[in-house]
Structure 1
Amino acid sequence: MTDSTPAGIRPALSTTSRRRVLAAAPVAGAAAALAACSAPAEPQAVPTAGTEAEPHVVAAVSDLPRGSKLSVEIDGRNYLLFRPSETDVLAYRALCTHQGCQVMVGEAEAFQCPCHNSEFSPEDGAAIAGPADDPLERFAAEIDGDDVVVFV
């Protein structure tokens, strides 16, 4: 079977399809860029002392000076503490949101996952580096006299 289209002339359908593809490419690129720039996931809700969570004394206040981090264990699970001020303490489960490896205090300012180098902000638990996208799970914590208390 031979082609009945004269030499040098292409069918309109082929030209139209190519134009549509070329016209749609910038739109698809813009959509991908917007999706990549979306806001990070919000940290999870923090239970308060009045909920079903049980209080656990995990450290002395003197073990967690202002601006420092500490790793503690509650019922066989590891948690990370950060004390941003004299009156506040933050607590996170030490479980990487990427693949569940144990996150550590480390030498850097951020909490660090040694498996794939994800890093998490001690101020809010947000993923700030590496393949992890979601924040660390946060728990209510407080300073009660000379004790640091975490509610789990």
Structure 2
Amino acid sequence: MSTQPEPSAPKQTLRDRRTVLRGAAVIGLAGAAMPVIAACTDGGDAGGGTTTSAPAGGAQAPGAALATTSEIPVGGGKVFGDAKVVVTQPASGQFKGFSAVCTHQGCIVADVADGTINCACHGSKFKIADGSVANGPAGTPLPAANITVQGGKIIGPAS
């Protein structure tokens, strides 16, 4: 009569290590995503996170100046990869801010052209007016980023 051998300890240890490493990776990704998510929300502004006036009391916005308004073309925009922000100008004088992190697999979007924010990783495109998906594979829009236009400068969200 033959019996099955019991699993050896090294295989069980290897499996446990993989489980621990996978768990650590998930926790690490979640921790890394939280600042991005926090930076890309603005308390519920569904209009793209645009602020076109100075903050209350005339104080400087908490973020750094990303560009001047003249650097953002009407009908286009500019990607600020280091700040993980895209600033668009869908209509003259109307500035919108979005996360530059593609909602498909987390790549930083590459550019803004022909009315869309474009991710070179897998071809997703997002509309410059509201960040909604114009072309997949992304299934969710780019989150709004709270930007401020003050004195001809575009101020990004706090880091």
Q: Which residue of 1 aligns with 2:64?
A: 56
Pair 108,66 (structure 1): closer, same or farther in 2 beyond 3 Å? closer
> Residue 71 of structure 1: which of 63, 79, 85 is its match?
79
Whichever of the two has the greater Rg, that structure is: 1
Deviation at 1:56, TM superposition (A): 2.3
The two structures, once aligned, show a CA RMSD in angstroms of 2.5
Give CA-to-partner distance per residue, 1:55-101, whole Å, 9 cap, x none: 3211011211332211124xx33211101233321111111111111
Deviation at 1:148, TM superposition (A): 1.2
Separation in 2 of the partners of 1:106 and 1:140? 18
Deviation beyond 4 Å, 4+ runs, structure 1:
47-50
Pair 142,126 (structure 1): closer, same or farther in 2 beyond 3 Å? same
Q: Which residue of 2 aligns with 1:139?
A: 145
Deviation at 1:106, TM superposition (A): 4.3
Give the % identical residues: 27
Amino acid at match of 1:126: S
Amino acid at match of 1:103: V
Please give the residue correspondences for 1:3-152 in structure 2 after superposition, counting only pairs within 5 Å: 45-46=44-45, 49=55, 54-73=62-81, 76-152=82-158
Q: How many residues were matched structurally?
A: 106
Separation in 1 of the partners of 2:151 and 2:92? 12
Unaligned runs of 5+ in 2: 1-40
Q: Of Structure 1 and Structure 2, which has the larger fraction of its residues in helix?
A: 2
Structure 1 window deviating more from structure 2 (141-150 vs 110-119): it is 141-150
TM-score, normalisation: structure 2: 0.57
Separation in 2 of the partners of 1:110 and 1:130? 12
